[in-house]
Amino acid sequence: MNYLVTGGAGFIGSHVCERLLQEGSRVWALDDLNPFYDPALKRRNVAELQAHGDAFSFAQGDITDPAMVESVFRGAKFDQVIHLAARAGVRPSIEEPALYQRVNVEGTVHVLEAARRYGVGKLVMASSSSVYGVNAKVPFAESDPVFHAISPYAASKLATEALGHVYHHIYGLDIVMLRFFTVYGPRQRPDLAIHKFARLMAAGRPIPVFGDGSSRRDYTYIDDILQGVLACTRQDFGFEIINLGESQTVSLEELIRLLEASMGEPARIDRLPARAGDVPITHADIRKARERLGYDPKVRIQDGIPRFVRWFRDRQEETAPRNP
């Protein structure tokens, strides 16, 4: 099978590429290597994927450029597209709402159009648990109303879900939208809480805690997310929206305690006011994923945090200056 993975140099995307390559597929990754976080981290991911030889190809480009997107589709015949490229993050989207709409909505249209024009009939696309907003009903189910987005990022992801439905309804593309719930693990973006807290704790610096620490998230380990993504590539859906989470919530205070235990270091807390766009809880109802995908998340947070910390420590050792 030939796959195009947009956002293939990023956290989730690089893992998806790696798993597909391990399964014997041919993989093309498209990524703009933008400076949302250090592009050197993404280049490192690409270098590790290039170790797979000719089975992997990388193209640097911006999905907001339709000519560039078309050139990628014109240059290779893809069986499926896994569309992960996006501007991510609730808080940054509040600062740059137009950028988030341009990349996440307009960019997604360019990918869908190229897939339609070049005969790629199946796409797996990333959405987000942020679309649920402040949902009084927990856990969050795909059938819940989602008309009250509270951040530009969430609004952009709702728009991509609508576009996916349009391209299925009018053009017959097979599309599954995956609502990811707070993914973590090796290669996690450095701006996300677990990675950011670990880095600050290792440096003996205080960690910023917005609100009273009672907010809860459904943290989902990358291996479990990969299980769900890969399962989507093996069957047809027509059009479907599916949650991928751990279906277990952890408070911010509990998360910090788990990090302290794994890091062997106390956390210094910098208490700050709650921020606009944050929700009090995310909690995935994964019954549809179990039924449709055979999805069965294995890694609980008590095991996932130590795994992440081992990776984090290994990377620290690799980048530490060597004494002559």
The token pair that represents 167 in the structure block: 């391209």
Q: Which residues contact 51 (CB under 8 A, 6 or more apart)?
A: none
Region of 311 (left: φ > 0; alpha: ψ -120 to 50; beta: rest) is alpha
Residue 92 Cα distances to 51, 96, 125, 276, angstroms: 33, 6, 21, 11
Q: Which of 132, 153, 167, 295 is catalytic?
A: 153
Inter-residue contact 310 to 268 (CB < 8 Å)? no
Which are the contacts of 36, defined by CB distance < 8 A and separation ≥ 6?
Answer: 87, 88, 89, 92, 191
Distance CA 303, CA 320 (A): 26
Distance CA 157, CA 128 (A): 7
Peptide bond into 139 cis (omega under 30): yes
- Residue matched to tokens 């649920």: 132
Whether 153 is a known active-site residue: answer: yes
Which parts of the chain are beta strand (E)? 2-6, 26-31, 56-60, 80-83, 122-128, 174-180, 183-184, 207-210, 216-217, 220-221, 239-244, 250-251, 269-272
**For residue 244, which phi and psi values (nearest 5 degrees)?**
-125, 105
Query: Which amino acid, one-letter code, is at 281?
Result: I
Please give the positions annotated as active site. Answer: 153
